[in-house]
Structure formats: C-alpha cells, structure tokens
Amino acid sequence: MGLNVGDIVARKSYNYDVFFKIVEIIDSETGGIRAKLRGLDVRLFADSPLEDLVKVEGQHIREYRRRFINKNNECLRKIFARRVKQQAVNVIQENSKLPRGFFEMPGRVLHIDGNLEYLKLCMAVYEQMGIKARGIHIPEDEQPAAVPELLNSSKPDILVLTGHDGIIKSTEAVSDLNNYHNSKYFVEGVKAAREIVCDMDNLIIFAGACQSYYEALLSAGANYASSPRRVFIHAFDPVYIAEKIAFTHISKTISINELIDSTITGTDGLGGVETRGKYRKGFPASPYLSQTGEVKNIME
C-alpha cells in the first residue's frame, strides 16, 4: 500500500511509539524517498525513510486520539480542582480585606503556533479555561519576523511561541543550535520579543516544542521553555503553562513545581525560572463588565 501526504503513520524502527501525519514526501540527497512528519499529539518534527513507515488504520487512530483526550481531561480536572481551592481562599480573604463584588482579570495570551490543527485545539482549551487568548498560525521560520508587530497590536501578558521541533542528527550534539529543526527560530522569536518588552515579569514568555534547546531559549529571555531532557512534549503543554501564569496573582511568584505539575509531560520536558503571575482583582464590579474584566455590550 502506497503512502501519501496526509496519511497517519508510525515508525517501525521506534517500535511504533508515536503516530505522525505525513506533511511532505521528498527525494533525499543520499537517494531514496523520505517523508517529513509532524506528531499527531506531540510537538515533534521528524523525517523518515518511506520504507520505515507503516500506515495506521482507523481503529488504532481512534484509540490513540481517545488516549489524547483522556490525558487532556485529566489535566483539566486538576486545573479546575486547583481553581476551586483557590476560589475558597479568595472568599476568605475578601471577607476580611475587601467588600464583596470584585472582578477577575486573568492574564491575556498571544499564542503563535506553527501547527494550525494544534492551534485550533489550543484555542478551544483556552476558552474552556476562561482565558482571553489570541491565536495566530505562523510557520516556525517566520515567527521571529512576525513577533514585534503582533506584540504591539495585541499587548499580551503572556506570549507562547511553539509549533514543532526535534533533534536532527544525534543527542551528542545538543549544544549545537543548528542540530535542531526549529529551536533557532524560537530563540530568534524570544529575542525579538525581548527587544519590545525586556522585563520578564511584564511579558512572560513560553517558547519551544519537542526536544527544543531549553538552555538557549532561557538564555534568550524565555521565562519557561522546553525541553530539559530533550523529550517530547504534549500538544497542550504550552496552554497548561499559560493557564497557571494567567491565574497566579501578580503579588505572588509562580510555583514552578505546581506549574509543571499542571502539564502532561512534567519536568523532563518543561522548566523555567522564577516569575510573578499575571492575575489581578478589581473592585467594584460593574454591570458593564464581564467576569474577566472585559466591557460587555450594554445593549445586551
């Protein structure tokens, strides 16, 4: 059976561990035909000889997607449980410090993603979690040039630069930025953002994807990045990190342990530096404000 662009496949040599979508089929420089691949649930970019690939059929894809959904639901369950606990603390604090009737302003997100399908899924999760987010699909190599204008027009509290990445040759060359598919573009994007907003508490940046050059991203100015152990990260991990930032009060330093615990991948794939949250309370609440501090249409 021939393979085509758009097919879902797995690699024999990796014991079928990750499902991919074929995005391009090319003639390699060394001879033979290779396929460029993007992970179905992880932010991994890879390429493979066509003969190493096996097409995955419907039942296996459905089971794979079911596990994807279950992982997401478990993370959301933990996030909302944490929110309920925090709201109980807020009530106690408000009863002792402020009159009733405050409103909430979680941090706002600009999410730039190299994968359109993942972006759509991420935007749905942002909405589900009550976060105001603007999502833009831009290929990884075009992100650095786009960052300044998008920052100036969106003025977000949190910037997410993500898509797909991966080590090209060998983990023995982890200190070579050119040994990564897209890390150099994420690094350039972070540097471009820091030219606009240099303060790491005013603009909080997450950058990276699967196996990304973690240390280079932090050195460029990212608050959080992937991947300390050069492992794969889940498609929604950047969203879960943004949520924790958005709902941590500005007076508090974000607990990195709690932040990473909110993700699917954990500390092997994600990390960062001490940073203040972006959540604010306002008072008094107005009939013309939404729950998240946005002005409502007064004609409604």
Identify the residue whose tokens are 């408000």: 94
pLDDT tens for 75-95 read 788 777 877 776 655 554 555
CB of 53 closer than 8 Å to CB of 12: yes
pLDDT tens for 128-155 read 989 999 999 999 999 999 999 999 999 9
Q: Which CATH architecture has domain 72-282?
A: 3-Layer(aba) Sandwich (3.40)
Identify the residue whose tokens are 């604090």: 93
Q: Round to whole Å and give the CA distance between 57 and 54.
A: 9
pLDDT tens for 224-276 read 999 999 999 999 999 999 999 999 999 999 999 889 988 989 999 999 999 99
Read off the pLDDT band of 281 (50, 70, 90): confident
Q: Which two tokens stand for residue 41?
A: 């649930």
pTM metric for this prediction: 0.86
Q: Residue 113: which of 126, 102, 104, 101 has the closest Cα?
A: 126
CA distances from 153 to 146, 272, 279 (A): 11, 27, 21
Q: Round to whole Å and give the CA distance between 236 and 241.
A: 9
For residue 297, what pLDDT is reported? 43
Phi and psi angles of residue 252, each rounded to the nearest 5 degrees, phi first:
-115, 150
pLDDT tens for 103-130 read 789 999 999 999 999 999 999 999 998 9
